[in-house]
Amino acid sequence: MNNFSQEPERRTIVDVTGLNRFLSRMYGMMTIAVLVSALSAYLTMTVFRTQILTLFSSNPAMTWILLLVPLALTFGISFRATRNPVASFVMLMVMAIVYGVEFSLIAGAYTGRSIASAFVASSTVFITMAVIGTTTKRNLNNLGSYASAALIGLIVAMLINMFLRNPMVSYIFSFIAVIIFTILTAWDAQRMKQIYENYNGQVSVDGLAVAGALALYLDFVNLFLQFLQIFGFSDRN
């Protein structure tokens, strides 16, 4: 009787341990990606600055390559994560390097104070919402769906504003984007936890961790870029 009554408790402990291990892997990979981007940006701005500027000035197509490669890698990771976790992790690191190069090119238009403020703000928001998304009992699926729909509308509006070139509109859009990615961060954190709980043992845990790290990394990157625009606009005015 004693052994039988203790079995469910032992199984629950194992499940919680597995979940915690999965979350640690996912957030660990995401953190590595952020650090790789930071290192890549630093090296581009210092050690390889001349070579990078020469490459882009002599090859205009490099700008499009820099923009399209992360998109291709995102699709590649999404489709291959659970089938080939190692290759997907390598692609995530390549994406982090590419974004690091992009950050270094963007950083030239902003002050060091704006960059530091944007990083602190995005880190604070990300960590807060990731904790909320992981621990909350409330289902965030509806909220996440609304945020995803709003993001599509915002992207369309941003594309239109690229032709209008209205700085104030871009400034307002940045605040809207921060709200959207704040919600998406919590939703992605909860969604990956739910996926692990539903498919644990059926798919590769490492693959799920890479997929989750990708989603959260993109949330963090977009938060950082939007905060950078907000603080940069404030510095110029």
Q: Check residue 61 and give its pLDDT.
A: 80
The one-digit pLDDT tens for each residue of the chain (237 residues) are 444 344 444 444 447 888 899 999 999 999 999 999 999 999 998 888 888 878 877 887 888 888 889 999 999 998 888 889 999 999 999 999 999 999 988 887 888 889 999 999 999 999 999 999 999 999 999 999 999 999 999 999 999 988 888 889 999 999 999 999 999 999 999 999 999 988 876 778 899 999 999 999 999 999 999 999 999 886 665
| 217 touches 33 (CB < 8 A) | yes
Round to whole Å and give the CA distance between 117 and 114: 5
The DSSP call for residue 46 is T
The model carries a pTM of 0.88
Q: Check residue 237 and give its pLDDT.
A: 59
| CB crowding 142-173: b at 16 or more within 10 Å, else e | eebeebeebbeebeeeeeeeeeeeeeeebeeb
Q: Check residue 5 and give its pLDDT.
A: 40
Q: How many CB atoms lie within 10 A of CB 222?
A: 18
Dihedral angle of Cα 209, 210, 215, 219, to the nearest 10 degrees: 90
Q: Where along the chain do its domains lie?
A: 2-236
Query: How many residues does this entry show for the chain?
Result: 237
| 18 touches 200 (CB < 8 A) | yes
| 153 touches 106 (CB < 8 A) | no
Round to whole Å and give the CA distance between 210 and 92: 8
Percent helix, strand and coil across the chain, each rounded to 5?
A: 90, 0, 10
